[in-house]
Each structure stands twice: as C-alpha cells, then as structure tokens.
A = this chain, B = another copy of it.
Amino acid sequence: MKTVITIGEILLRLSPKEGRLLSSAEELSAVFGGSEANVAVALSGFGERAVHLSALPKNPMGQAAENALRKYGVDTSRIVRTEGRMGLYFCEGGASVRAGRVVYDRARSAFAEAPASLYPLPAALEGATHLHLSGITPALGKKAEELTRLALLEAKERGLTTSLDLNFRRDLWSESKAKACFLSLLPEVDILIASSDGLNILGLENAGTDLSACARAAEILHKKFHLRAVALTVRESVSASFNRLAGVYFDGEAHISPFYAVDILDRVGGGDAFAAALLHAFLNGFSGDEAVSFAAAANAYKHTVFGDAMCVSAEEILSAARGETRIRR
C-alpha cells in the first residue's frame, strides 16, 4: 500500500436518467467527481492509500462531496473548507448518434478561489510516495495554477514521483496558454498521461487510433521531456454508445494493449480510471505490458459503471482484461 496524493477540484455532477434530456428532466442523479478525485477513488479501490487535497464550501454540499470520497476510503482530512460555492456540472449522457453533453458551472468555485497558501502542502505530502495532478487544475485560474506548481516542486523536493494527466479542456483555457503551462510543468513530471488525439497541445501530431503512431509519439515525448514514462489513451468512438479503447505505454520501450470494445453506460471518468490503473501498475512493479493492458481495461471497465468515479479491486479489472465476462457465482 503506497500513499498517493491527488490534488484537484471536486465537482457535483447532475445528470438526468438514460434517454432524458437536460432541458426536460425533473429528476437528476447527484454524484461527485473530478479528474483527480476520480483517480484517488480508483486507487483506493486498487488498495493504495489515496489522499485527496482540495477546497470545498462550508455547507452541506461541501460535506456531501467529502462524504462521497470518504465512502470509498479516500483520506479527506487534508481538504480545506472555505466560504464559496460548490463547482458543478450538468451532464447529459449520449446514446448512439446523439453525443453526450456537459454544461459546466464551476467558475468561482471554492476551489478556484482558494489561494495556494491555504493548503497544508508539506503536511499532506509527508510520507507520500507519489503525487498525481491533471491539466484541469492549472486551467482553473492563477491560484489553482500556482497550487499545481508548488505541489510539483514540493513533491520533487521530497523525492516523490509525479504524474500529470494533460486533460486539455478547450472550454477552460486557450491552446497557447495550456501549452505554455504544460511545458513549464513537464520538467518536474515523471509520468505523462495524455489522449492520443490530444497530442498537438505538445506540438505533435495527433495519433488517433493508429497504435504504431501512438507508440512513436509516446517515444518522442519520452525523449523530448526526459520522462520516466508516457501513457496514451486511445479511443475509437464508433458511436456515443459504443467505443473501442486501448492504451499505449512507453517506458524505454513501447507497450501496446489490446482494444477493448465497450457498450457505454457512463463514459465520464474513463481516462481517470486509466490513469489510476497505470499509477497502480507503476507503483507496484507491473511489467510494461501488464501495465498498459491493466490501464486500458480499467478505462473500459469504468465505461460500464455509473458515476464519475469507480471503486473496484484490481482483481476485477484483471479479470475483465482477460475477457472473463460470464456471470461470477
């Protein structure tokens, strides 16, 4: 059991039932997520000790968010509670020819407004093995960007390994800002995670679903940014209900997972499951081949579980990776 620190905003997700549209729904499910928190939950399921650092409002919704993480064993004792609002988003699941849709309402949230100085960074990182961040946090504004930067520096100073999932979001910031930020962060990053069709943010061509091209791109990134490892998620979006998912991992040599076909039940958080699985593999000495298949299978598995975050054991992912789909009695 390793201790992994994740840092990021926790969002309330409000989504209508299957096949209902946001514009007419009268009942919404309420779950909590956020890229880095999802990674924490998944890591907890895999048996790691996950500590999530965030800022939440001092109101019942902030408490609900904390409860949601605690439920899955994530250590929330480092979360700060401030005046401010709960970031949230509305999410309409897609189906077949109809694309899913996300409406963000996260501006000026408790997390976005909290100064970096508010967080007990040294205490939180004390005794930890790894720090995981995503590109969403610096996209939320100056304060969150500073938090990202400070955390990375503090972590490297203390000898932790670090990972960054780019998670470039065009609705949060411009490509040029994102690029500049990522380039300034990468020197402190050990493991870079990105999607194969989001590579141009780092100056490469997108590699799409061509796994060899993905492997080449990962190798280039590995060298260019002196990374310990690069992991790419690969998604073939056949329809909003059916995708094929794979992964590529480069840690000196290239490792390619099989494609996993999934009928999509809830696609949000798939990349976070990939990241968590990859970190679990990395921290526990999986071979590169094992790591990438485990991560790609985790991504696929998440697509079958409702909610942003997924908390299942590594054994269940491994079983899925082996293609065992018969009912277990």
Which residues of A line the B interface, CB within 8 A?
14, 17-31, 59-61, 63-64, 67-68, 70-73, 85-86, 90, 92, 94-105, 107-108, 169-171, 237-242, 260-263, 265-268, 297, 300-301, 303-306, 311-312, 316, 319-320, 323-329
Residue of B nearest to A262 (CB): B96
Greatest chain B CB density within 10 A among A97, A303, A324 is at: A97
Output the least CB separation between A52 and chain B (Å). 14
Question: Which residue from chain B places its CB closest to the CB of A328 in the assembled complex?
Answer: B101
Q: Is B72 in contact with A260, judged by CB distance below 8 angstroms?
A: no
Q: A14-B28, A27-B30, A71-B70 are in contact. Are A60 and B92 (CB under 8 A)?
A: yes
Tell me whether A265 and B95 are in contact in the complex, defined as CB-CB below 8 angstroms, given that A70-B70, A90-B60, A101-B60 are known contacts: yes
- Which single residue of chain B is at the shortest CB-CB distance from A268? B327
Q: List 14 A-B contacts (CB under 8 A).
A: A21-B60, A23-B61, A27-B30, A60-B101, A85-B105, A94-B325, A97-B262, A98-B301, A99-B328, A100-B328, A102-B327, A102-B328, A169-B329, A239-B261
B residues within 8 A CB of A262? Answer: 96-97
List, in ascending order, chain B residues with CB within 8 A of A170's CB.
Answer: 329
- The answer to whether B64 touches A25, judged by C-beta atoms less than 8 angstroms apart, is yes
Residue of B nearest to A74 (CB): B70
Q: A27-B29, A27-B30, A71-B70 are in contact. Are A97 and B60 (CB under 8 A)?
A: no
> Are A64 and B98 in touch, CB under 8 angstroms?
no
Which B residues are in CB contact (< 8 Å) with A72? 24, 67, 70
Residue of B nearest to A32 (CB): B26
The 3 closest A-B pairs by CB, nearest first: A19-B306, A22-B60, A71-B71
Given known A85-B105, A326-B237, contact A304–B96 (CB-CB < 8 A): yes
Other A-B pairs beyond A23-B61, A61-B90, A268-B327, 20, CB < 8 Å: A18-B18, A18-B306, A20-B306, A21-B305, A22-B63, A23-B64, A24-B67, A27-B28, A67-B73, A68-B71, A70-B73, A95-B304, A96-B300, A96-B303, A97-B304, A98-B301, A98-B305, A99-B325, A101-B328, A104-B329
A261–B305 Cα gap in the complex (Å)?
Answer: 24
What CA separation (Å) do A240 and B36 show in the bound complex?
29
